[in-house]
Amino acid sequence: METWDAITSRRNVRQYEGRPLQETDLERILEAGWRAPSSRNWQPWDFIVVTERAELIELSKVWRGGAHVAESSATVAIVVQQSDDQHARETARFDVGQASMQMMIAAADLGIASGHSAVGDQELARQILGFPEDRYVVIMIDFGYPADRPLSPIRHPNRRPLDEVVHRGRW
């Protein structure tokens, strides 16, 4: 797929076929996140990738809207260090956003759909995933083949009008 097609085809998918991803595809998605830019290249993240169905089902319980995690073929939990420093917290979340998006676009390029899932119960996530006490999951990104239809460019995305969002020169 062309980069532009991957960008315009990506959409949040909440129902997956469930068939496994090829290991090389999963590695490429993870490498895309690993390559993401971050503030001063501090790479505040660790990625925990889950592919076992039983573990995915458990993981789907950390958020009431997380049913798509249970059905996914792989879910990546992006984990960062807790911090009392607001700047560090905000920077980490910005950087995690970049890593997330890079993984999602790399996935779309392979025809693999993705979705975000928040984490409501960090303690349950910790029990399942085993990350240290001083870390937490910012977001989980689930991956898989869409159950409804293959990814293809979306002509009219559900967005605020472009000319309302874009200000040229000044507000």
Ligand X SMILES: Cc1cc2nc3c(=O)[nH]c(=O)nc-3n(C[C@H](O)[C@H](O)[C@H](O)COP(=O)(O)O)c2cc1C
Q: Which residues bind to ligand X, rule: CB under 6 A?
A: 11-12, 14, 63, 65, 115-118, 139
Between 25 and 142, name the residue whose CB sits nearer to ligand X.
142
We find the least distance from the C-beta atom of residue 113 to ligand X, in angstroms, to be 10
Nearer to ligand X, 71 or 169 (CB): 71
Nearest to 139 by CA among 69, 42, 43: 69
| Residue 53 or 116 with smaller CB distance to ligand X | 116
The gap from C-alpha 15 to its chain's centroid, in whole angstroms, comes to 15
- C-alpha to C-alpha distance for 62 and 84, rounded to whole angstroms: 24
> Residue 70 CB, nearest distance to ligand X (Å)?
13
| CB of residue 103 to ligand X, shortest distance in Å | 13
Q: Which residue has the tokens 């000319």?
A: 163
